[in-house]
Every structure is written in structure tokens, then in C-alpha cells.
Amino acid sequence: MPLPPLRPTDPADDTAPPAAAKRKKAAAGKTPAKPVKTADKLAKLGLTRDIDLVLHLPMRYEDETTLTPIGELLPGETAQTEGVVVDNEIAYRPRRQLVVKLRDADGAELSLRFLNFYGSQVKQMAPGVRLRVRGDVRGGFFGLEMVHPAVRPVDDDTPLPQALTPVYPSTAGVSQAYLRKAIDNALARTPLPEILPERVANDYCKPLDLPPLAQAVRMLHHPSVDADETALIDGTHPAWTRIKFDELLAQQLSLKRAHEERRARSAPSMPRGAGAQTLVARLSAALPFQLTGAQARVVAEIAADLAAPHPMQRLLQGDVGSGKTVVAALAAAQAIDCGYQAAMMAPTEILAEQHARKLRGWLEPLGVTVAWLAGSLKAKEKRAAAEAAASGAAQLVIGTHAIIQDTVEFARLGLVIVDEQHRFGVAQRLALRAKADRAGEGRGAFQPHQLMMSATPIPRTLAMTYYADLDVSTIDELPPGRTPIVTKLISDARREEVIARVRDAALRGRQVYWVCPLIEESETLQLQTAIETYDTLAQALPELRVGLVHGRLPPAEKAAVMDAFSRNEVQLLVATTVIEVGVDVPNASLMVIEHAERFGLAQLHQLRGRVGRGSAASICVLLYSNPLSLTARERLKTMRETTDGFEIARRDLEIRGPGEFLGARQSGAAMLRFANLENDAWLIEPAREAAARLIADYPEVVLQHLARWLGGREQFLKA
């Protein structure tokens, strides 16, 4: 849906640059422009337009409405008091400092100490001057004191503010007073008309008792005397709710627009062919198992998307072991059937390699040419793979993010599959998008369809803010015949018993993973520990063939060890978390994780997902060392109680909060300044509905709202 550009004369255009910037521009032609330093600093805070200043809302409030007499100050509290300077000296012990003594009418005294100070401050606090000070009260060696309080010279009758004083997020060199003034000026110039159509406001703002935006903004910058102070401070005041609603609305609009923009582009239509001779049909027939109901459903959803002439943007969610790979293979086969290429990208070389092995096993016997492309390849091999992609000789290219490097071009790329997409960094996800966008630029060229896969399911409300620009398919069923994994928590003190169990399992023909302790602070130490663990276990279990795999191993050796393990030539695989994602060896039925208390829930769940992939009853032993922190205890308990990825994600969210859970800086949450997904999740649904209404019925309002709230920061949302 094409949206009209924002007209500069639009009455709702409150996006004018601040007056200072305008003046600067006007002057620039004539006299050599004097550097307007503070304006630059404001720009650093993202405050380049009046509307930015108007929406630069307080991060907290200070209560300066009361004075506490010096005699009633208590150490440990933050307070405001007043007195007359009786002494002002620069002391040198223990280091140079300014010490100012205040006395009030009752004769009580308070010392102010400044470790960094200017000459002007010494003058400002000369004896006889009356000061109003605010700061943390401490019981110092010589009685009560404040270190670096906020200080203001006052007269006997300077009135106290009636309402709370806002404190704004700032940066070094921009004082609160300056910000307050700049904001007030901007407020005076900015009418901030209500841009939500009355019908939308009636349906969404009114039931929630939200005030008009202009009123909300004014209340937050200049709280009225009778405003509910607690609600203002903890962010539950209706004025705050209105701001959060508008912000979430902007986020939803932006995500939906990004979605629709991409939808509006062209992609090759790759319908599923009929008959037994299609690659899809032959692959389905050759599979050693039947698709589960859930797999069949998502395969159909994807097949329909691929047939459409617009790029698919689909996220395939499915718990660890739910069988996403075969779904991806069928999607690739559909693209290949239509004469297009498919690319499959995985976050680690181990995982990519495993996909390559698996998909080659399925597809090469059916005559498909598969190329392998990873960073570790020799230059010559890389060039050969890139050439196969460029000529179209390779129908399927599997690899790491080397696939999206600039030197790799595809002849007829129809589908890009990204496995464990949450594992890719923002930069890589953006590079992939950019590559897809570029692919669409050429004459008559198409953008490829995209299928993202993830084993980290996220709760619905969060999905609405994070994946609102994606369609989601979910595999909610595990393949049949899996025996549930039993998880045991065992103290490290009983290590010997665990080793005996490993021997037992291996001698019965089973295979075992032993995951080394995580040492986040040092990769070298991590490596060293892995090698030591390997040595000890190899010594303790001489009758077993033991392998070691870690991140620093050259890729060829890594591949060799993994190969040997998948052929059961290695019975015990000592590994770091490199095996965390996707590794699939069904005969492995015992996993030991050392220092399990150091791992996060999602990571433990992923690791544990390496076992329980075959028909043998599987056990996961979580070795832990005391003392356990409260949250570590929670995590381990959760692991013992459930193997359901959705339930684990829910508890993880509960334990950690959404910011950490999602790696907030990695996503659209970065742009939420006011709404907080923990406390304001209930606002997402109405914001989402309002966004849908605006997009459908009021396209010009969409633009006005986005200009107001985002002003060029939309790109964060697209990562």
C-alpha cells in the first residue's frame, strides 16, 4: 500500500528543527559560524527537532517542595535544606577539596564537600551567602555532611517549587537547567495537536482513560501541584500510559510497514508442482520417516508463501528436536523444482556442516547439486563454491554467513533459509536483508523468499513486538517414538558415580556427551579446562574412545571429530558449547553438563536437546557445585521439572525479565524509551489493534505518527 509523503505544510507537522538550529543555518552564509556547542551536544542526545525536545521526557522527578531543617537531617537520606555559609576553605587533606560550612537559624551546622570545583564555585559560596542545597546526607568525621550536593544561592524568601522537579536524561556538558529551558522553548513552539483520528482515540485511548497527548506531555514536563506523585515517579500515571501507548503504536506501525513494504516487492513465484516426479515428491518418498502433523502443516504454510509473487518473511519456531531441518529441505526442494537456487545459512560451522551432510544425504541421490561455503575453506575452494553459486550450477548452497559475503552472488536465488536465526548478530541479519534488497534492484530481478528458523520460542506478547514484521509458523509436536529425557541434578562431589555411568552407557553401545564448564571471562581458560577435562576422562575411561571438540579446533579437525562421533567411532565426546546448536546424533543418549549452574536456561535446554533424539531412554545429568545462587537454583529446578521449550522460555522470561531474555539491545526494544515490556505488555495488544486500524483507514496519520515518534530511527526495527 503506497503511502503519501508527509507534506511540509501539514498542520500536524511538529517535526521542525529547533529554532537554534534554524538560526545557525541562517547565519552560516554570512559570518563564519561560531560553533554552537550545546546544540551539538543536544544532537548527541538525539534532540535535533523541536518534537524530539518535547518528547525528551523526565527519567525521574525530584521532590524539592520541602526543606528539612539541618537539625533534622538523617544520614542515609536524600534531602533538601537551607543555611547561610559561615565558613569556606580549601583543605588539602587527604586531597585538595573545598569545604563549605552552612548554619541555619537554629544554629545547626552542615558541611558541604567538593572534590572537584571551580574558582567560580568558591565565590558563589562565599560566607554570608544563603544556599539551598540538595543531596545525600552522610555522617562524616566532623558531623553531618553532603558531598557534591546540588547548590543554589537563594534569598530569604525564595519560594519553594510547588510541584515535583523533572530530571532529564542528559550528557556531560548539558545542564539540567539548559535542557529544561530548551524543552520549555520547544514546548511553547509546538502545538502538538492530537493526530489520532477521533474514532481511533475513542476506541483505544478513552477506555484506558488516556489524556490527549499534548496534555500528557505538559503534565510530565510540568507536573501539576495536585498530580499523584507516586504514579508520576513509578510511571503508572495516565500521562505516562498515554506516552507509552503512542510509543508502542509507533513501534507497531513501523514493524507493520516494514512488513508490508517487503511484501509489496517482487519475488519469484515458486508453486509446488504436482506429480510424483517433482523433487519435493521424490524427497518426501525417500525420507525414512513420515512428517508429523505439525510438520505437514508448516510445510503447507511455507509452500503457499513460496507460490506467491512476493517475498516470504516467515519465522519457523519449533522446539529443539521438533524436526525443522526436513521442513527447510522440502522448502528448498520446492524452489529447486521451479528452477531457482536455495541457500541455507547456519550460525556455526559445526551446524552448517551437519546440515550439509544431512541435506546432501537426502538430495544428492536425487540428482541435486549441493555446494558448501564456509569461512574456513581454502581460497581456491571458496572461489569454486562462489562460482557454482554465480553460474547456477549449485542448486543448493549450504554454509555459514560466508554465504552473504559481498563476493558471493547467486544466479537465481529464490529462497534463503536461516537456521537458528537468533544466533546471528544484528550486523549479519542486516547484511542478509541488504543482500536481499540488492538482489531486488537489478532489472527484472527478484528478491528471494526468506525462511528463518528458531528453537527459542517466545511468548505471544513479546512475539508481537519482536516479530510483528514476520509471519510465524510453529511446530508444536515432537516426532513420535521419542522417550522423554530424564534430567538429574547431581552434586559435583558424586562425580565418580557419574563417570561410572558414562562407562556403563558406552559399553551398552550408547554414546555420551560431556559438556565442559563454561568460563565466560576467558576463552583461553575455557580451552584449557576443556583439554584438562578431556585428559582426565580419557584416563579414567581407558576402555572408551574419547574425542574432544572445541571452538579453537581447526574446522577440518572439528569436522573429523564430529564425523567420527556420528559414526559411533567416538563413544564419549568431550565438548564445549560449540555443540549447543543443532548437532544431531540420535544414538547419543547420555549427556553430562559440568557446572550446570553457570549456564543460562536457554543454553541448558539447547544442550540437553542433543540427547533424546533417538528411541533410547535418555538422561541428562546436571553436575553442580555448591553454593548455588537463588537464580541458579531456580534454573536447575526448571530444567529438572520440564523439557517443554515453551514452558522453559516462559520461566526464563520470568527469572530474567524481557530485556535480558531477548538481548534487548539486539532488537527493536532498543528504540523503546518509555514503554517497558515487563510492566507495559498489556498495552501491546491495544497498540497493535490501533496500528492495524490506522494502516487500513488513515494512511496519512501513520506517517505523521511515525515522524513524530521515530524521526529516522526506524532502521533499528529491521534488524
The residues binding ligand ADP (CB under 6 A) are 289-292, 295, 318, 320-326, 455, 479, 582, 584, 586, 613
In angstroms, give the least distance from the CB of 668 to ligand ADP: 25
Cβ nearer to Mg ion, comparing 399 with 582 = 582
In angstroms, give the least distance from the CB of 299 to ligand ADP: 11
Cβ nearer to ligand ADP, comparing 39 with 352 = 352
Which entry of Mg ion, ligand ADP, none binds 422, CB below 5 to 8 A by partner kind?
none
Which entry of Mg ion, ligand ADP, none binds 323, CB below 5 to 8 A by partner kind?
ligand ADP
Q: Cis peptide before 586, with omega less than 30 degrees from 0?
A: no
Cβ nearer to ligand ADP, comparing 83 with 582 = 582
Q: Taking CB under 5 A as the criterion, which residues in 570-589 touch Mg ion? A: 582
Which entry of Mg ion, ligand ADP, none binds 479, CB below 5 to 8 A by partner kind?
ligand ADP
Cβ nearer to ligand ADP, comparing 218 with 297 = 297
Cβ nearer to ligand ADP, comparing 455 with 703 = 455
Residues with Cβ within 8 Å of 626's Cβ and at least 6 positions away in sequence, in order, are 491
Q: Residue 624 is placed in which grid cell?
A: 553442580
In angstroms, give the least distance from the CB of 469 to ligand ADP: 23
CA distances, 117 to each of 89, 103, 136, 478 (Å): 12, 21, 18, 67
Which entry of Mg ion, ligand ADP, none binds 667, CB below 5 to 8 A by partner kind?
none
How many Å apart are CA 710 and CA 694, to the nearest integer? Answer: 17
Q: In the sheet where 449-454 sits, what is the strand order?
A: 370-373, 396-399, 341-345, 413-418, 449-454, 313-318, 471-475
In angstroms, give the least distance from the CB of 418 to ligand ADP: 13
How many Å apart are CA 20 and CA 43, to the nearest integer? Answer: 12
Q: Which helix H or strand E contains 622, and what residues bound it?
A: strand 618-624
Cβ nearer to Mg ion, comparing 18 with 582 = 582
Which entry of Mg ion, ligand ADP, none binds 142, CB below 5 to 8 A by partner kind?
none
How many Å apart are CA 168 and CA 673, to the nearest integer? Answer: 13
How many Å apart are CA 560 and CA 409, to the nearest integer? Answer: 29
Cβ nearer to ligand ADP, comparing 328 with 377 = 328
In angstroms, give the least distance from the CB of 347 to Mg ion: 11
Cβ nearer to ligand ADP, comparing 645 with 658 = 645
Which entry of Mg ion, ligand ADP, none binds 295, CB below 5 to 8 A by partner kind?
ligand ADP
Cβ nearer to ligand ADP, comparing 357 with 495 = 357
Q: Which residue sits closest to ligand ADP, CB atoms considered?
A: 323
Cβ nearer to ligand ADP, comparing 270 with 326 = 326
In angstroms, give the least distance from the CB of 587 to Mg ion: 17
In angstroms, give the least distance from the CB of 316 to ligand ADP: 9
Which entry of ligand ADP, Mg ion, none binds 36, CB below 5 to 8 A by partner kind?
none
Which entry of ligand ADP, Mg ion, none binds 682, CB below 5 to 8 A by partner kind?
none
In angstroms, give the least distance from the CB of 478 to ligand ADP: 8
Question: Nearest to residue 719, comparing CAs of 382, 293, 303, 425?
Answer: 425
In angstroms, give the least distance from the CB of 609 to ligand ADP: 6
In angstroms, give the least distance from the CB of 581 to ligand ADP: 9
Which entry of Mg ion, ligand ADP, none binds 631, CB below 5 to 8 A by partner kind?
none
Question: Nearest to residue 405, comparing CAs of 381, 431, 438, 426?
Answer: 431
In angstroms, give the least distance from the CB of 294 to ligand ADP: 9
Residues with Cβ within 8 Å of 548's Cβ and at least 6 positions away in sequence, in order, are 530, 531, 534, 561, 573, 574, 575
In angstroms, give the least distance from the CB of 403 to Mg ion: 17
Determine if 645 is a binding residue for Mg ion (CB under 5 A): no
Are residues 604 and 651 in contact, defined by beta-carbon separation less than 8 angstroms?
Answer: no
Q: Taking CB under 5 A as the criterion, which residues in 235-264 touch Mg ion? A: none
Which entry of ligand ADP, Mg ion, none binds 326, CB below 5 to 8 A by partner kind?
ligand ADP
Instruction: Quote the crossing angle between the two packed helices 349-363 and 555-566, to the nearest 10°.
Output: 50
DSSP string of 474-515? Answer: EE--PPTTPPPEEEEEEEGGGHHHHHHHHHHHHHTT-EEEEE
Burial class of residue 380, CB neighbours in 10 A (0-12, 13-18, 19+): exposed
Which entry of Mg ion, ligand ADP, none binds 348, CB below 5 to 8 A by partner kind?
none
- Structural Rg of the chain based on CA atoms: 32
- SS3 of the chain: helix, strand, coil, percent, to 5: 45, 15, 40
Number of residues that bind Mg ion (CB under 5 A): 1
In angstroms, give the least distance from the CB of 362 to ligand ADP: 9
Cβ nearer to ligand ADP, comparing 118 with 289 = 289
Q: Where are the beta strands (DSSP E) in 154-240?
A: 165-167
- Collapsed DSSP state (helix, strand, coil) of residue 708: helix
Cβ nearer to ligand ADP, comparing 586 with 711 = 586
Q: Residue 198 is placed in which grid cell?
A: 477521533
CA distances, 187 to each of 44, 54, 217, 238, 240 (Å): 20, 6, 9, 20, 17
Cβ nearer to ligand ADP, comparing 312 with 328 = 328
Cβ nearer to ligand ADP, comparing 190 with 295 = 295
Cβ nearer to ligand ADP, comparing 166 with 614 = 614
Which entry of Mg ion, ligand ADP, none binds 551, CB below 5 to 8 A by partner kind?
none
How many Å apart are CA 667 and CA 658, to the nearest integer? Answer: 12
Q: Which helix H or strand E contains 705, and what residues bound it?
A: helix 699-709
Which entry of Mg ion, ligand ADP, none binds 347, CB below 5 to 8 A by partner kind?
none
In angstroms, give the least distance from the CB of 359 to ligand ADP: 11
Which entry of ligand ADP, Mg ion, none binds 318, CB below 5 to 8 A by partner kind?
ligand ADP
Residues with Cβ within 8 Å of 689's Cβ and at least 6 positions away in sequence, in order, are 204
3-state secondary structure 506-569: HHCCCEEEEECCCCCCCHHHHHHHHHHHHHHHHHHCCCCCEEEECCCCCHHHHHHHHHHHHCCC
* Residue in this structure with the C-alpha cell 475513542, named with its chain if needed: 202
In angstroms, give the least distance from the CB of 608 to Mg ion: 14
Residues with Cβ within 8 Å of 372's Cβ and at least 6 positions away in sequence, in order, are 353, 356, 385, 397, 398, 399
How many Å apart are CA 621 and CA 496, to the nearest integer? Answer: 13
Question: What would the x/- binding string for Mg ion be over residues 525 to 564, using CB under 5 A?
Answer: ----------------------------------------
First-to-last CA distance in the chain? 22
Q: Which residues of the shown chain bind Mg ion in the complex (CB under 5 A)?
A: 582
